[in-house]
Structure 1
Amino acid sequence: MRLSPSRIAAAAACVLLTACTGQTIKPTQGKSDAPAGKATSIRWLIEEPEDAAALKALKEHVATFEKQSGIKVETTTLPFDTMRTVLQTQLRSGQGPDVFNWGSGPSFGGALIEAGLVADISDAYKKYGWKIYDFAKERVTVNGKVYGIPGEMETIGLFYNKAVFTKLGIQEPKSLDDLRAAADKVRASGMVPLAVGDKEGWEGGHLLSMALSSDIGSEGVESMFRGEKSWSSPEVVSAFGLWKDFNDKGLLPKSPTSVDYDTSTSLYFSGKAAMIPTGSWLVGEIDDNAKFESGYIPFPAPGGPGIFTGGLGSGPFVSATTKKKDAALQFLNFLASEDHGRWTVENLHTIPAQPIKTEGLKVSKLFAQVLQDTAKFSEGGDFGHNIDVMVSDAVNKAMYDGMQGVMTGQRTPEAAAAAMEKAAKK
């Protein structure tokens, strides 16, 4: 389902770190006080969607599983900020959900796995034959055991208003210089060039990720994850400096650290801003709210068109303490099915981390393009990394604070990059 990374990208340490209680728990391996397969109900916890209609449609879709299986699914939701606070506590208490959706990366689901809060479902992969892309499956694999189903595939790039570009005589940017020139033309016309908000902090992580990935490629970013290259390197300083420069030149909304994500998207939907750097999860809202045709491209690089930043959203995991593991796995089999994948594409505008047949799918022209672009991810094309799902909470905090400090002029790009490196060494 479309669980915006705008909510996934800001997880706090209490959810992610064993240090919240100082201990781990031992999985129950699905031991139940009821006969295997006889559980009549399970609880599924997901982040509260921004669109109430999407939740209603999802529940109606899940009802098909309930009818076929005889298993009742109690779908519960929490706002992200609440979920990140209470999820680990619920899982440790044994009173948590049987199945829950959470980020697929090592800093999200991976941390809960290390804390012993997630059930090993390796046998279920063999039993049901789930056809998950290998690169995605790796994100939920720890020490050779598989613990979840990866969430939807996503890209981060640059949406632009085609009508505005045509009116102003702007060609699709093929380099960073092209983007600067386009933004200057837009600003001269009286519009906001780039609808950027960084009030909530996580947005800055995406801004840094897309600029850095396009500049040095996936391997360059991975070298920083591995500690082979410093976060205080000139490339990171340059990526921070790029957004400082854009802000100083009036290419962003006034005081972007006071602009939240919803306000930035509204600027784009309303036609007041010509471009918005964000993720493919926004396609559905663009289709519903914008009265103009949009293009979608990678964030440009200094010497060329750049690459999309790619990643995975939240996906389902099974609690290590559930007493209804068999029923939970039957539900995961439903969520991993191609039929469910096709349904999510058409109804929730998300892209499953598995092969699906696209013939006959009813999607917009923009989403069809995103599907094609994302397919390249699974075929081995170069995609950058969304930094915040791959690093520690301490590095994320340094990154979020650093971008906000750069935007407000309270911190230099050099200081922001140095703070990330210092956090990485802790």
Structure 2
Amino acid sequence: MRKRLVLGTAAIIALTLSGCTGGAPQTDSDPDSIRYLIGQPEDTADLDLVKEDLKAFEEETGISVKLDVVPSENMRTVLQTQLRSGEGPDVFGYDTGPGFAGALEKAGLLYDLTDAYAENDWPIYDFAQERVTFGGKLVGIPNDIESVGLFYNKTMFDDLGIEQPQTLDDLTAAAETIRDNDVIPFAVSDKEGWQGGHLLSMVLSSELGGDAIEELIAGDASWDSPEVVDALSVLADYNADEFFTPSATAVTYDNANALFYSGKAAINPTGSWLAQDIERNVDFEVGYMPFPASDSPGIFSGGLGSGLFISKSTSKADAAVQFLNWNVTEEHGKWQVENQQSIPAFPVDTTDIEASPLFTQILADAAKIADGTGDFGYNVDVLMSDTFNEAMWDGVQALLTGQKKPDQVAADLEKNY
């Protein structure tokens, strides 16, 4: 998921397609004008692409879009404040799953899209629809399919004589070699907290497999089991062995990415959403692999990223639904793949789309997630409650600072399930 949403406070940055304007959200009675709120993209080039897309939508439909962009770390606070005040955006991008969109639906803040799905015959994959269904209502359209794994500096690996690791022991040996050559093995950041959930998801998914992760998420297995403790121990051991960025809990997501871009770190544990930014910022060959398991190459943690939602209090439901419909067309899906290197949560013919070798691999992996032909794990926090997620994020931070041991963190997870 692109830059996880964490609690914080800041003034909203209001942007329009024609430029920047300050101040609070403005109400607008024009039925052919909607306000669209998103988190700040990680690269300014991505914001330009959003504006380009909105301009095409305006020309096609005659509906104008006022774009508001909020720092990602403040999105949850800003969005909930606006929605609860009745002055929220008409449409907004937000994370899927029970801890995010589900919490908004539970609070009665989301527009019911069940009828819109039927009327427009939106071809969203069944598994993706499940992630935006709460209380029997469809409340959003998922934006993209994502995986979480390890980007690695293939050029550096080749120079150091390191093959792509096929087991956890291989990965450990590779990290030792990289560390001994005065390079940070893993560009780990955890200042914001959510990154720790990704790390745990990667290790758990590969070691246990998709079915076992589903049992944990469903409550059919215990979060303080030996398997979970072992996964947490991998993170604790790697941190103790100086494989992770020094003082990782003080390192921001952007700073960790910069370490990878500059070649100061060899492996970046993050999501497929970063592929385009990586290709824009590096001058070396990059590979992408799952976090290996004890006896296999492992599997990717897969699932959904963000989605599009409509505020229940909107007075412009018709225009807002048209905007969502625009995003689910075959043409827009191809544009999304070609320009944003983002994988739609509905079928798109990509046979005539040119892509880099890195993104071609990511597309192939995502296709297996979409059609269910491959085993994949889960990015746990997308499917869990906000209470559990806070315990997970805080727990991994405590693990990396030595304040808690793996079994203590696992006990906290079970307590907050």
TM-score by length of 2: 0.91
Structure 1 alignment gaps of length 5 or more: 13-32
**Alignment check: 8 A CA contact 2:40 2:69 kept:** yes
Q: Is 1:85 aligned to residue 77 of structure 2? A: yes
Is 1:272 the counterpart of 2:272? The answer is no
SS at match of 1:222: helix
Q: Deviations over 1:80-106 (max 9, x none)?
A: 233211312322332211111111111
- % identity of equivalent residues: 52
3-state DSSP class of the match of 2:93?
strand
Specify the alignment match of 2:283 in structure 1: 291
Indicate conservation of the 8 Å contact 1:11/1:108, yes or no: no
Aligned-pair CA distance for 1:145? 2.4
1:44 aligns with 2:36: yes
Is the contact between residue 213 and residue 384 of structure 1 (CA under 8 Å) also seen in structure 2? yes
For 1:23, the equivalent position in structure 2 comes to none
What are the equivalent positions in structure 2 for 1:59-74 lying under 5 Å apart? 59-74=51-66
> Match for 1:153: what amino acid?
I
CA distance in 1, matches of 2:185, 2:324: 43
Amino acid corresponding to residue 6 of structure 1 in structure 2: K
Q: Does 1:423 align with 2:416?
A: yes
Look up the SS of the partner of 2:142 in the other structure: coil
TM norm structure 1: 0.89
1:7 corresponds to 2:30: no
CA distance in 2, matches of 1:223, 1:52: 40
Match of 1:245 among 237, 248, 258: 237
Alignment match of 2:105 (pick from 109, 113, 120):
113
SS in 2 for 1:102: strand
Matches within 5 A, 1:25-424: 39-380=31-372, 381-424=374-417
Q: Secondary structure at the match of 1:160?
A: strand
Per the TM alignment, residue 11 of structure 1 is displaced from its structure 2 partner at its CA by: 5.8
The answer as to whether partners of 1:214 and 1:299 remain within 8 angstroms in 2 is yes
Q: Deviations over 1:97-133 (max 9, x none)?
A: 1111111111111121122211111221222221111
Counterpart CA distance in 2 for 1:97 and 1:215 is 42
Q: Is the 8 A contact 1:241 1:413 kept in 2?
A: yes
Deviations 1:242-294 (A, max 9, x none): 01111111212222222221121111111122211111111011100111111
Q: Is the 8 A contact 1:121 1:146 kept in 2?
A: yes
Do 1:100 and 1:316's aligned partners in 2 also have CA atoms closer than 8 Å?
yes
For residue 3 of structure 2, give the secondary structure of its aligned residue in structure 1.
helix
Match of 1:26 in 2: none
Question: How much does 1:148 deviate?
Answer: 0.9
Instruction: For residue 141 of structure 2, give the secondary structure of its aligned residue in structure 1.
Output: coil
Work out whether residues 299 and 308 of structure 1, in 8 Å CA contact, stay in contact via their aligned partners in 2.
yes
Aligned-residue CA RMSD (Å): 1.7
Residue 341 of structure 1 and its aligned partner are, at CA, apart by 1.6
List runs of 5+ in structure 2 lacking aligned partners.
9-27
> How many Å apart are 1:52 and its aligned residue?
2.2
State whether residues 179 and 300 of structure 1, in contact with CA within 8 Å, keep that contact through their aligned partners in structure 2. yes
Distance 1:82 1:199, change over 3 A: closer
| Equivalent pair of 1:103/1:151 in contact (CA under 8 Å) | no
Relative to structure 1, the CA distance from residue 342 to residue 11 in structure 2 (aligned partners, 3 Å threshold; closer, same or farther) is farther
Note the C-alpha offset of 1:378: 0.8
- How many residues matched? 397
| Dislocated runs of 4+, deviation >4 Å | none
